């Protein structure tokens, strides 16, 4: 078994534990993006990717959203965050980092930043549903 596969397996229980112990700001953001509430996009929370667990992940846009609390102000933590982000970006993942304070004070701006990142990745929210087919049309859709 490869090292990355092995570490991925071991991070699933960690991800489950983190889901149970989410912060208030993570819960607030999760409520806004869950069940395709943001642009029809599917997000996962506390999602294991390789040896890491990310706060939120949208597979369709290959987008990671990280909510940074006070601990992320520490220079050593910032260095670890930078290395972690670089490793995940090497997997063609994009990052949006938001502060916990921004999630609490201006959630709509945070959601707009996430959608901007999705658009930059080439996705523009909910796809337009197909138009209903009229039964009166002839074979091949002719009028």
pLDDT digits (tens, 9 = 90+) for 82-135: 999 999 999 989 999 999 999 999 999 999 999 999 999 886 544 434 434 334
Instruction: Compute the distance between CA of residue 81 and CA of residue 72 in angstroms, rounded to an integer.
Output: 8
Euclidean distance between CA atoms 75 and 78, whole angstroms: 5
Residue 17 has pLDDT above 50, yes or no: yes
- Collapse the DSSP code of 60 into the 3-class scheme (helix H, G, I; strand E, B; otherwise coil) and give the result: coil
Q: Which residue has the higher pLDDT, 17 or 58?
A: 58
Is the per-residue pLDDT at 9 higher than 60?
no
0.75 exceeded by pTM: no
pLDDT of residue 56 exceeding 60: yes
Residue 43's closest CA among 77, 72, 67?
67
Query: How do residues 22-45 score in pLDDT, each as one tens digit?
Result: 788 999 999 999 999 999 999 999
Is domain 3-128 annotated with CATH 3.40.960.10?
yes
Angle at 63 between CA 59 and CA 68, to 5 degrees: 130
Q: Sort 47 into a burial class: Cβ within 10 Å, 0-12 / 13-18 / 19+.
A: buried
What share of the chain in percent tops pLDDT 70? 69
Distance CA 63, CA 59 (A): 7
Give domain limits for the chain: 3-128
The Cα 117–Cα 126 span in angstroms is: 15
């Amino acid at each position: 078994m490869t090292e990355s596969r092995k570490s991925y397996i071991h991070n699933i229980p960690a991800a489950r534990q983190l889901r149970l112990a989410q912060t208030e700001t993570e819960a607030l953001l999760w409520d806004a993006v869950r069940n395709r509430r943001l642009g029809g996009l599917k997000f996962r929370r506390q999602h294991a990717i390789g040896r890491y667990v990310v706060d939120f992940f949208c597979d369709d846009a290959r987008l990671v959203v990280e909510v940074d609390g006070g601990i992320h102000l520490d220079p050593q933590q910032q260095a670890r965050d930078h290395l972690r982000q670089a490793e995940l970006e090497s997997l063609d993942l994009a990052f949006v980092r938001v502060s916990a304070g921004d999630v609490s004070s201006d959630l709509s701006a945070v959601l707009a930043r996430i959608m901007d990142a999705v658009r930059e990745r080439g996705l523009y929210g909910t796809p337009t549903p197909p138009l209903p087919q009229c039964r009166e049309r002839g074979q091949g859709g002719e009028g």
